[in-house]
Amino acid sequence: MSEMLGNEPLGTQYWPVEIRHKQTEKLIEIEFDNGQIFCYPAELLRVESPSAEVQGHGPGQKTIVPGRQHVGIMKIEPVGHYAIRIEFDDMHDTGIYSWRYLYELGHNQTQIWQGYLDALKRHGLSRDPRATKAHNARDHDHGGGCGSDGRGCH
């Protein structure tokens, strides 16, 4: 008996028939059984990770992840028959990317990417990791370090 989520087995309507990791281009290409082929840049996958670290534990808790312009993918491994787990070279590896999530991410990639770029701009953040480090150093330079009592960030 197959597991059902909603009206679809394992919550997905479309299943991958081929997954290609293009390491040099820093992307994953997935071909689904309906003929759709989506290319997912590593940066997009990282900043839209379905992990609790990025998405939070409820509505409105999503974290904007800056400075991942050059992130790469080190490893992709299957999670049962319904997803993959991606290990990025920034050591993030807690996102479980279901086939449904990947299909929706690919299908809505243009709007999702623009939303991410808009959020970076609104918060004065950058895709460039060097700019992010400079931004963080500037925000935490209060003379006595982060936290007025010298204990660091809290």
Q: What is the pLDDT of residue 145?
A: 36
Q: Please give the structure tokens belonging to residue 44.
A: 């997009």
Question: CA-to-CA distance for 17 and 23, rounded, in angstroms?
Answer: 19
Mean pLDDT of the chain: 84
pTM for the whole structure: 0.80
Three-class SS state of 145: coil
Q: What is the pLDDT of residue 9?
A: 54
Domains in the chain: boundaries: 4-127
Mean pLDDT of 97-120: 97
CATH 3.30.2020.30 is held by the domain 4-127: yes
- Tens digits of residue pLDDT in 122-154: 999 999 999 865 555 444 443 333 333 333 333
Q: What is the pLDDT of residue 134?
A: 52
**How many H-runs (helices) and E-runs (strands) does the chain carry?**
5, 8
Q: What is the pLDDT of residue 151?
A: 32
Question: CA-to-CA distance for 102 and 154, rounded, in angstroms?
Answer: 35
